[in-house]
């Protein structure tokens, strides 16, 4: 067994959320490796030991302010015949829950799925989110790397977790805008999900990720984006029976050489900072009839859109994949309505996809 030092950066927000980023092999000692090896460089690169068929990484306990939800993301390369298996547990009072199975991830569609674990008296997994019955103070993540091909290994290059107190998820207007992003708009390509009759009406998440990949393709000077149908196939969760699993979408984006993870933001004022830094965001939103004026669909219990900038008045400029054709994808929504649709629905869930 080898002790692994992962860097988890703790960010506190007004929404009682904490974010841990594990992209560097430094800080936070106490995590362990069995059957695995880590590259000697500063960036996190964990692979199977020579001829090992599997190996396990278990993080040290990760302390957090009181939380009852947690979302884990990962960045990995999974050549054919390799896959990751992820689970997590939480500390409730003096004791730990069991490890709840979270996901099996691979570039092979047959080895990519969430679990139907119904949970227990302490909590359980709802597709991609750990939901607990009472507040926890720490979590642990376990990742098992597998290979059915001797000499071929998956590569784990990032592991993150965002925890939050669900009682704060509906709170908006917690931060004041500095208006630096007002009038700033990023050149994000437009794609409609609705032009694909083979299932596009439920492809809002991979379509949004495709737009972000197109943006980074231009910025980095090489092609990262696949077609929307290929992105939908690459993010499909066979148990969930859809392409909307949040960390599956960020894991797919990360497979293109980017850094990608699911996080939570407190509102549009916080999101403005990413636009200023040149990072468009994917937002998870929902609304009832009349809740989002100008929307292409009258209501939705879950939809993903791209935040690409802000008007001079501070309204969000959105790439909405629900537009009937590409020409209508770029649109502007009222600031208060969009923020409510985002924060009240998902507690500010966002895909952060950026250059490494």
pLDDT band at residue 12, thresholds of 50, 70 and 90?
Answer: very low
User: Architecture of 193-354 per CATH?
Assistant: Alpha-Beta Complex (3.90)
Distance CA 140, CA 145 (A): 16
pLDDT at 173: 66
Distance CA 333, CA 325 (A): 18
Where does the chain hold its CATH 3.90.70.10 domain(s)? 193-354
Which is more confidently placed, 117 or 229?
229
Counting runs of H as helices and runs of E as strands, what totals does the chain give? 5, 21
Q: What percentage of the chain reaches a pLDDT higher than 90?
A: 86
Q: What percentage of the chain reaches a pLDDT higher than 70?
A: 94
Q: Is the pLDDT of residue 294 over 80?
A: yes
pLDDT at 15: 54
pLDDT band at residue 16, thresholds of 50, 70 and 90?
Answer: low
pLDDT at 230: 98
Where does the chain hold its CATH 2.60.120 domain(s)? 2-168
Distance CA 202, CA 303 (A): 9
pLDDT band at residue 88, thresholds of 50, 70 and 90?
Answer: very high
Using DSSP's 3-state secondary structure scheme, residue 13 falls into coil
User: Among 279, 266, 163, 263, which Cα is nearest to 216's?
Assistant: 279
pLDDT band at residue 6, thresholds of 50, 70 and 90?
Answer: very low
pLDDT at 295: 98
Q: Angle at CA 132, nearest 5°, toward 339 and 3?
A: 100
Distance CA 321, CA 204 (A): 6
Residues 322 and 296: beta-carbon distance below 8 Å: yes
Average pLDDT, the chain: 93
Could you tell me which residues come within 8 angstroms of residue 261 by beta carbon, excluding any fewer than 6 positions away? 21, 73, 75, 158, 160, 162, 247, 250, 254, 351, 352
Q: What does the pLDDT average to over 171-191?
A: 92
Q: Is the pLDDT of residue 11 over 50?
A: no
pLDDT band at residue 1, thresholds of 50, 70 and 90?
Answer: very low
Q: Is the pLDDT of residue 57 over 70?
A: yes
pLDDT band at residue 30, thresholds of 50, 70 and 90?
Answer: confident
Distances (CA, A) of 1 to 24, 35, 57, 150, 307: 20, 8, 10, 21, 44
pLDDT at 29: 60
Q: Is the pLDDT of residue 27 over 50?
A: no
Q: What does the pLDDT average to over 59-81?
A: 96
Tokens of 278: 């040149």
Q: What does the pLDDT average to over 292-301?
A: 98
CATH code for the domain defined by 2-168? 2.60.120
pLDDT tens-digit profile of 241-259? 999 999 999 999 999 999 9
């Amino acid at each position: 067994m080898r002790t692994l030092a992962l860097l988890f950066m703790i960010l506190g927000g007004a929404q009682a959320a904490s974010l841990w980023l594990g992209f560097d092999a430094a800080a936070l000692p106490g995590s362990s490796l069995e059957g695995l090896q880590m590259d000697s460089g500063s960036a996190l690169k964990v692979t199977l030991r020579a001829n090992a068929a599997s190996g396990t990484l278990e993080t040290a306990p990760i302390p957090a302010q009181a939380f009852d939800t947690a979302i884990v993301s990962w960045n990995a390369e999974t050549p054919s015949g390799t896959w990751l298996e992820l689970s997590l547990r939480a500390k409730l009072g003096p004791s730990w829950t069991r490890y709840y199975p979270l996901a099996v991830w691979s570039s092979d569609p047959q080895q990519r799925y969430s679990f139907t674990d119904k949970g227990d008296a302490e909590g359980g997994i709802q597709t991609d989110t750990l939901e607990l019955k009472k507040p926890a103070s720490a979590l642990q993540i376990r990742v098992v790397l597998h290979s059915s091909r001797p000499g071929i290994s998956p590569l784990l290059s990032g592991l993150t977790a965002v925890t939050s107190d669900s009682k704060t998820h509906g709170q908006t207007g917690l931060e004041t805008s500095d208006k630096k992003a007002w009038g700033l708009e990023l050149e994000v390509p437009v794609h409609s999900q609705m032009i694909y009759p083979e299932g596009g009406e439920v492809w809002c998440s991979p379509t949004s990720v495709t737009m972000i990949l197109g943006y980074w393709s231009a910025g980095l000077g090489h092609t990262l984006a696949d077609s929307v149908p290929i992105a939908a196939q690459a993010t499909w969760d066979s148990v969930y029976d859809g392409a909307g699993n949040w960390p599956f979408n960020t894991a797919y984006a990360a497979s293109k050489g980017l850094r990608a993870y699911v996080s939570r933001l407190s509102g549009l004022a916080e999101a403005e900072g990413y636009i200023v830094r040149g990072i468009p965001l994917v937002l998870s939103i929902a609304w009832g009839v009349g809740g989002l004026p100008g929307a292409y669909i009258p209501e939705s219990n879950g939809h993903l859109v791209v935040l690409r900038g802000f008007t001079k008045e501070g309204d969000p400029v959105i790439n909405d994949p629900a537009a009937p054709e590409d020409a209508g994808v770029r649109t502007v929504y009222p600031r208060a309505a969009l923020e409510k649709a985002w924060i009240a629905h998902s507690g500010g869930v966002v895909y952060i996809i950026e250059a490494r």
